[in-house]
Amino acid sequence: MAMKKQRVLALVDENLVPPDDAKGHDVVNAPWKMEFDVVHTLREKGHEVLPVGVGSELGVIRKAIQEFQPTIAFN
């Protein structure tokens, strides 16, 4: 049974937002390796993913929810 495709809001530390493409990056030693792996895997599974960097200003979450309208948030 196939899983329904989701619009995933991936909340990550503002300093660990992964690049969309890992070409030219040392992913194995990158501080954002875990975040990249999660986002990349979700995209491979066919989900639409928006990584959002979050720090002390939480308004970015509200803005992302309003604009992206995710079906789920992943932290």
Q: What is the pLDDT of residues 39-58, one digit of tens each?
A: 999 999 999 999 999 999 99
CA 72 from centre of chain: 11
Contact 7, 69 (CB under 8 A): yes
What is the C-alpha to C-alpha distance for residues 69 and 27, in angstroms, rounded to an integer? 29
- Predicted structure pTM score: 0.88
* 58-67 pLDDT, tens digit each: 999 999 999 9
